[in-house]
Every structure is written in C-alpha cells, then in structure tokens.
Structure 1
Amino acid sequence: MTVTSSPETGAARRRAGIMSQPYTATTIGIFALIAFNAFETMAVTTIMPTVSRDLEGFALYALAFAAPLASSVVGMVAAGAWSDRHGPAGSLVTSLGLFTVGVLVSGLAPSMSVLVAGRVVQGLGTGALIVSLYVVVGVIYPARLQPSVFAAFAAAWVLPSLFGPGVAALVADVLGWRWVFLGIVALVALAGLLVAPVVPGLRRSDDGRPPTPRSRLVWAALAAVAVLGVELAGSRGVALAAAAAAVVVVALRPLTPRGTLRAGRGLPSVIGTRGLMSAAFFCGQAYIVLVLQDRWGYSPGAAGIALTVVGVVWAGMSQVQARLGERVSSETAMRIGSAVLLAAVIGLWLTVRLDGPGVLAGAAFVAAGAGMGFGFSRTGVAMLAASTGDDRGFNSSALSIADAMGAALALAVCGIGFDLARGAAGDPFLVVFGVAIVCAVGAVVTAARTPVPVSPG
C-alpha cells in the first residue's frame, strides 16, 4: 500500500504541529471543508422554520433534517470502501460535487418535498466528505497530533457559528431564503480551491486488496430508506414506524464493528457513544430555534444566537480536551462529555415543562454543546487508536454512520412524537426533548463501556 503523502519521520516532525510545514496545506484544506459544511448547517437550521412555512410543508420539518443524515450513510460506506482501496482523494472530489448539486436543488425547490429530495443528495456528499476527512487524518497525522486535528474540526465551526445564523436570517429577510442555499455554492467552490493542492498527495496505489463487498452499500441504502420510512410510516401508525425502525437496526449490523448494537466493550461502545451523543444533541439543535420562536416569540435572528453560542462553546471545550491531551484519557473525556450532555437536555426539558425563561432554554442548549465539545471529539481519537491501516476506512465509516443514523433515527422519532402530541393538544416540545434525554442516558451507559478490555496474561 502506498500513499504519496509522506508520514511523520525524524526529530523535526516529532516536534511539528498541525500548522507546521509537513501539514500546512492539509490542515488548511480540512479546515475549509469543515467550515463550509458548518456554515450550511447553521444557516439552514436558522431558516428552516421560515422555509417550512413558505413552502407549506411543516409536516416534513423533521424529515428535512433527517433526510440528509440518513442518505449520508450511503456516502459514508462508499467513501470508506473507496478510501481503503484507493485512498481518500477520489471520494473527496465526488463528495463536493454531490453536495453542490443537493444545495442547488434545495435552493430552487418549488415544494417542501423537492427540498427534501435535494437534502437527500446533499447528504450523500456530506457523508462521503466526513469519512474521507477522517481517513486523511489517520493517514497524514501521527497519533499525538490527532486530538489537535479534531479540535481544529471544532474550531472550524467558530466563524460559521458566529456569523452563520445572523447572516442567514438577514439574507432570508432581505433577499429570500433561497439565496441562503444558493450562496452556499460559492463557499463550496472556495473550499474546493483551498483543498485542491492536497488531493493529488492522497492517492493510494492499488495494492491488489479485494474490493469491499457491494452488500455493504445495499445495507447502507436499506438503512437510509428505513430511517426515512420511520417518520413517513408514523402517520399511518406507530406499529408500522416501529417495524421500519427494526429494519434500521438489522441493516446497521454489517455496517458497524461486531458488538456495536449490544454495546460491547471497547471500539463497539465508542461507536455507540458517538451515535447516542449525536442523537441527543441534534434533537435539541433541530428544534431549539423553533421552540424559541414558537414558545417565547423570538425572531429567527435572535433565536439563532443559541446556535452561535453553542458553536463557540463546542469549539472552546474541544480545544480544552485537546490541550489536556493524554492527561485525560479518551474514555474519561467521553464519560464526562456524555454526563454533561445528559444534564443539559434534562435542563432544557425542565425549562419547557415549567415555562421558564427562553434565555434559560438557550443556556441549557449551550451546555449541551460544552458536553459535545469535550467528549464527542474523543470518539474519533479512540476509534483511530483501535484501527489499523486495513480497517481505518471501515471504522471511520462506522463512526460516521453511527453519528448520522443516531441523529436521523432520533429526529424521525421526534417528528412522529411532535405530530402526535400536537394532535392530542399536548406539548410537542416536551416529547422532542424527552427523546433527547433517552438518547443521552444511552450515551452515558455506553461511554462507561468504552475502555478496551485487557486480555488476561
């Protein structure tokens, strides 16, 4: 196996940081790619209530978030297989193309259903991008620098967090929400130019290893369709939605390390912790802007401030865990992060239940970001530590699949619960944040099982 980017060797590289000469171009390219993806997330989350009202598609609100997460699984599996065999260069380029097409379709959508279709295509590109970047980190950077790289992933969210919600709200108000999507295309082009110098060095010679079985792509597609089916089936009965959820679980088994679904110790629980933390947090992120507008009368721009602060806090706590380095193990960081996340979503639920001030709801969501910043980044470090050159692509894919499918499935359940509660004259936001609490409890349990078992003798 040959990757043309040279590994770290010698005393100089042992002292090098992620912005030193051997890594400068790669770090800048990765930062740009994460940043434009972050801006899209912040901007679209801010304007989605407006989009749903304008397209008269509020019934598909949760699906607009779940759809790209679900379809990203297919992109993740394809990118993991491609990277293991040929290196991450090709999947990086393809992911940018798919993302661009999806954003254009969403921006020009005449109806909510077409917008959801565009989000599906966009998700394919996002999934391939994230896995490709994890493989790049494992190939290019030594283990001692990987916590700093993942902290840079979080830091790349700072500027989009500071300006994304406000800019999106302003553009939507002055020019219309479509220009938020169309403007993102320019950011994709800019990121592509920045990452272009890195791509040729990431190609891998074909060393004759067998291709990844096509069955994995079939399982990924089945899992994605089943997740979307959970919410769509919810309108026809909870039993049908539960059957679709069971299909998701079956489809995930061959896409993750053995023992993941039963929270086996070590790598399986690292994967599980990633998925459950993602599920809990993104239930909050998808609905925090909506609840602040609906319950407390905030404007889109004012409600988006919660997204701004949480992005900064997430990045800040990620820097803290990176500076602590080996003084705090990845397993400890995941346990602390998941516990903080659980306390935060409980606080958010209580604020809604007791009709507390909106600022307190926003503060609880910000605390959830602190937990994610401290523990979530370490799931990537722990995964790479348990991987080899032969399975790094598969494990990177599995980690990202857990991330996306955990959030997508939780959001689908939130969508069903939201509609049922609203139809029964209940409080739909209590259901949504209740789902987040259940997921956070699961993350605390799996985080306690992440230490790798020590073989006797």
Structure 2
Amino acid sequence: MRITQELYAEVAISAWQAPGYTFGMDGSGVSVEPVPSARPGVARRTATGAVLLALVVSAFEGTVVTSAMPTITRELGGQHLYSWVFSAFLFASTVGVLISGKLADRLGRKPVFFAGMGLFLVGSALCGLADSVHALIAFRVLQGLGAGALQPTTLTISADLYTLRERAAVQGLFTGAWGAGNAVGPLIGGWLVMQASWRWVFLVNVPVGLFAALLLYLSYRDPPRRTDVKLDRWGPVLAGTSAAMLLFSLEPGHAELRWLCLLGAVVLGAGLVFQQRKSLAPLLPMELVKDRTVLSGVAGGIAGGALLYSMAAWVPLWMTEQGGQTPIVAGLTLLPMLLGWSVGSTFGVKLLVRGGMRLSAGVGFAVAATGAGLLALTAAYGWGTYAALASLAVLGMGLGPAASTSLIGPQSRAPWHHRGIVTSSLYATRLLGGSLTVAALALARGHFALQFAIAGALAGVVALGLAVAAPGKASNES
C-alpha cells in the first residue's frame, strides 16, 4: 500500500520509539490501544513538558558547542583535537541510542531516563570544569552516552502518555522541540561565550536538566515492565568497539597504529555480522537488512549525519578563523541551514508519495550536494558571508527532505512491531555518520574549501546511488 499522509502522521510520532517498544501492540503483535501513563490534565501536561525539556537540552548540546569551540581550543590548546570534541559526543550518543531502548522496556522508562539524565548532567558539569582538551573529550563521552539514552527514552515516554490517535496531534511538539534545540544551540553558544564564558555552554544544562527530571519524577508513572524483552548484550559492544576503532584509525599520528585500528575495525565488524546472524534479538532484524528501502535509509542516514554535523563542526571555525567573525555571528551562520532543513522536510513526504525514496532522498541529496559545492566555492574564492549563508540555505533545503524521508521510507516498509528498532537504528547511523565524517575531515583541517567539497561529493555519490538503487515507490507492508 502506498504511503499516505495519514500513515505519515502516525509514523512521524509513533515510530520514534525506542528499540523493542511496540506502539499500539501487545506481545503477540496484535494491535491494542495503549493506556496512557498519566491521566489527561495537569500531570500529563507536566510530564509532556518534562520530556520536551529533556529532548531540547539533549538536542541543544549537539550544536551549542559549535560556536564555542574556537574559543575553547584557544584557551585549552589542543587544536589538533578539535574534531574529537564533536566526534566523541556523537559516537557516544550512538552507543547510548543502541543500548537504551530495550533497557527502557526491561527496566522501566524512569530508571533509564534518570540514568541517562544523570550521565548527561555529570558530563556537562565536568565539561564545564575541564582544564585540558583531553579531559573535555573524556567528559563529552559521558555527555554523549547520557544524551543518546535520553532522546529515544523521552520519545518512548511520550508514547506512554498519549493514545495512538492523540500522538499524531502532538507530533509537532516533539519534532519542533528537537529542531528548536538544534537551531538555537549555536546562537546561545556564541552569546554565552561573549557574555560569560565558554564553560557556561556546558554548565547551563545542569539546572535545566535537574528541573526536567524533577517534573518527570512528580508527574509520570512507569507502565508495567516487559519481562519478555530479549537483550542483545554483544551486539552493541561489537558495534561500538568496531566504530571506535574506525574512529581512531582517522586520528593523525603513527601510520602503524592507524592501520592496526583499521584492521581491528574490520575484524570486529565481521564479528558483528556473524553475531547478528545468530542473535535472537539483533540490532536490526535480518529480513529488514536485505530490504532495499531500509538499505537506502541506512545510506541516507549516514550521509545526512555526515553533512549536518560536518557543517556544524567546521563552518563556525571557518567563519572565525578566515572570516574574522565573532562567536555569536559564527553560530548564526548555521541558522539558514537549519531553517532550510525545516522548510525542505515539509516537501519530503510529498516527494516520497509521488516517487518513493528514489525521488525524495535522491533529489534531496543532489540539492544538498549543490549547496555544499557552492559553499566550497565560496570558501575557495572568498565570496563573502552572504554567499555562505545562501549556500547553507540551499544545503539545508536539500538535506531536509533527504534525511527525513530516509527515515520515513524504511518505517513504512517495516511491520509495526519492528518500526521502533528500525527508527532507532537509522538514528544511530546518522550519529555514526556524523562522528566519522567530522573526524575524517580533520585530516584536511585548515583547508575549508576542500572539507566542504568532500562533504558535497559524499552527498553527490549517495544521490547517484539512490537514483540507481532506491525503490521508486514507498510501500507499507504492515
């Protein structure tokens, strides 16, 4: 059945579930109407506000550091480790996403939420007190693990709070909260650097996060735990270790060590494939791994994360080092991309309905590649700030439909009882693509035009691949 707007309305909110949690299903896969975990009224509104606040603060931390990093590296040193402050957070978030979903089903939402918030806040406080860039990177790992656990868990809690029919009505709140957190991050980060200190970029999370945790504690009760949820203990370990080795192989330094890390990543990756084929609870069900729509979504997720986070990492540095801009202006330069993302994503579903992922994601990445190419030319020939802003807007206009339909397309193919694990797996690929690309582009640090050109070339390759291999029509087989 072809995707409809009604299906999208349900998928967009209900499929943002954590792995293993089945919206509107009992254990046998039979549709049921869930009982909200808070009665309509003050308690439910309070719980909704709590998870929205947690979602905003975790999304905010992914981009707030972008406009502060040039100042941080000037004060703490470690210019050669610039990219690791981003990559460490994104990589740890990937691991947090992979392990938190089923734990929320097995242990309950509250324990996982509070554990994630605790890690996030402790990491934030320690980042604010860091006296070296090495310490900052280590504490960003704590932050990332917490943020990775928070984002899927908050979305799972939101599904507990509302019935299936109500979720479509509140979807805008949660997509808007995530977008707002990312959009205002660079602006607030630049303002804090200029008005106070870069340390407040991290410390500001502590009171906000504590307030969100208190609100949730007072207003939300956990649904019954699911003792039938099977946990894949080795899958996340192998996936995380393999990705970490690949990340270390991109670090400039001893060539022998880099090749050893790359070999380790390949061996562990092969071990992951073997283990997943035997696992009773794989990270992604094997029947979906073979699906062209899902594979297209994986490629789109990696490329989307690569473009989004590489621009967030390197554009502000380019603006401060070569453009002579203040931190707050450097942060503002990302706003056209994020606004373009929001505008472009509204057209994504229409393109998906009309021509499947081949049209929606393929055209989207082609437009994004054009924007990145224009940005590379702007950096190479010094066309100025306005040309950079226009290029980033074009990039965002393409990235919006490409990234959103790379998620919605696979969701429509997966049965209801697999949509959560598909969604969180694709979200993890977006984070992983971002962490690896930011680290890889550090090898060309200082050559901003080359960095932007490489990012654009990646988008162009994915656009071509999707045009050839992605299915022409999206379907729902559930």
Question: TM-score, length-normalised on structure 1?
Answer: 0.81
CA distance in 1, matches of 2:232, 2:48: 32
Correspondence for 2:367: 340
The alpha carbon displacement at 1:271 in A equals 2.4
Q: 1:57 to 1:116 in 2, by over 3 A?
A: same
Offset of 1:71 from its aligned partner? 1.6
Alignment of 1:391-430 (within 5 A): 391-418=418-445, 428-430=447-449
- Is 1:205 matched up with 2:195? no
Unaligned runs of 5+ in 1: 14-18, 423-427
Q: Does 1:272 align with 2:331?
A: no
Q: Is the 8 A contact 2:353 2:474 kept in 1?
A: no
* 2:119 pairs with 1:98: yes
Q: CA deviation at 1:430?
A: 2.5
Does residue 312 (structure 1) correspond to residue 330 (structure 2)? The answer is no
1:209-228 equivalence runs, <5 A: 209=229, 211-228=230-247
* Alpha-carbon distance, 1:373 to partner: 2.8
- Counterparts in 2 of 1:356-395, with a 5 A limit? 356-388=383-415, 390-395=417-422
- Mark the CA change 1:402 to 1:443 in structure 2 (over 3 Å): closer, same or farther: same
Deviation at 1:151, TM superposition (A): 4.9
TM superposition shift of 1:437:
1.7
Relative to structure 1, the CA distance from residue 194 to residue 451 in structure 2 (aligned partners, 3 Å threshold; closer, same or farther) is: farther
Residue 225 (structure 1) shift: 2.2
Shift of 1:212: 1.7
The TM-score normalised by the length of structure 2 is 0.77
Matched residues in 1 for 2:21 and 2:403: separation? 31
Amino acid at match of 1:343: T
1:39 is matched with 60
Distance, in Å, in 1 between the alignment partners of 2:103 and 2:472 is 30
Residue of structure 2 equivalent to 1:425: none
2:454 counterpart of 1:435? yes
Residue 195 (structure 2) pairs with residue 174 (structure 1): yes
Deviates more, 1:78-87 or 1:158-167: 158-167
1:347, 1:364 within 8 Å by CA — same for their partners in 2? Answer: yes
Query: For the structure 1 residues 161 and 413, does the alpha-carbon distance in structure 2 shift closer, same or farther, using more than 3 Å as the test?
Result: closer
SS at 2:373's partner residue? helix
The answer to whether the 8 Å contact 1:265/1:450 transfers is yes
What are the residue-to-residue correspondences of 1:188-203 with 2, within 5 Å? 188-196=209-217, 199-201=220-222, 203=223
**Shift in Å, 1:117:** 0.3
Distance 1:120 1:76 in 2: 13
Question: For each residue in 1:140-177, what CA deviation from the matched residue of structure 2 results, as whole angstroms up to 9, or x when unmatched?
Answer: 77888877766544422565466543432232233221
Give CA-to-partner distance per residue, 1:81-123, whole Å, 9 cap, x none.
3145456443222211111111111111110000000111111
Contact 1:137/1:149, CA 8 A, preserved across alignment: no
> What amino acid is aligned across from residue 128 of structure 1 in structure 2?
A
Note the alpha carbon deviations across 1:276-296, whole angstroms, 9 max, x for none: 111122111111101111222
Matched-pair contact (CA < 8 Å) for 1:341–1:369: yes
**Structure 1 counterpart of 2:253:** 235
Contact 1:69 1:407 in 2 (8 A): yes
User: 2:17 corresponds to which residue?
Assistant: none
187-196 or 143-152: bigger deviation: 143-152
Distance 1:208 1:252, change over 3 A: closer
Deviations 1:275-334 (A, max 9, x none): 211112211111110111122211111111112333333334445657x69866773443
State whether residues 135 and 392 of structure 1, in contact with CA within 8 Å, keep that contact through their aligned partners in structure 2: no
Residue of structure 2 aligned with 1:109, choices 130, 133, 155: 130
Between the aligned partners of 1:22 and 1:56, the Cα distance in structure 2 is 47
- Indicate yes or no: 2:309 matched with 1:282: yes
Q: Which moved more, 1:284-293 or 1:150-159?
A: 150-159
**1:129 aligned residue (136, 140, 150):** 150
356 and 256 in structure 1: CA distance in 2 versus 1, 3 angstrom threshold? farther
Q: Provide the C-alpha distance between the structure 2 equivalents of 1:70 and 1:4, rounded to a whole number of angstroms.
A: 28
Aligned to 1:63: 84
Structure 2 gaps of 5+ residues are 1-19, 26-30, 277-282
Is the CA contact (8 Å cut-off) linking 2:88 and 2:140 kept in structure 1?
yes
Compute the displacement of 1:75 (Å). Answer: 1.2
Q: Is the 8 A contact 1:166 1:304 kept in 2?
A: yes
CA contact 2:298–2:406 (8 Å) conserved in 1: yes
Inter-partner Cα distance in structure 1 for 2:299 and 2:61: 26
CA contact (8 A) 2:411 2:419 kept: yes
Deviation at 1:409, TM superposition (A): 1.0
Q: 1:85 to 1:98 in 2, by over 3 A?
A: same
Q: Could you tell me which residue of structure 2 aligns to residue 301 of structure 1?
A: 328
CA contact under 8 A between 1:235 and 1:416: conserved in structure 2? no
Please, which moves more after superposition, 129-138 or 371-380? 129-138
**Matched residues in 2 for 1:43 and 1:412: separation?**
18
State the partner residue of 1:78.
Answer: 99
1:226 touches 1:244 (CA, 8 Å); kept in 2?
yes
1:285 alignment partner AA:
A
Q: Which amino acid aligns with 1:219?
A: L
Conservation of the 8 A alpha-carbon contact between 2:23 and 2:417 = no
CA-atom RMSD, angstroms? 3.9
Aligned match of 1:350: 377
Residue identity over aligned pairs, in percent, reads 25
CA contact (8 A) 1:257 1:267 kept: no
User: How many angstroms apart in 1 are the aligned matches of 2:216 and 2:356?
Assistant: 29
Distance in 2 of aligned mates of 1:265 and 1:5: 26
SS, match of residue 68 in structure 2: helix
Does the CA-based 8 Å contact 2:239-2:269 persist in structure 1? no
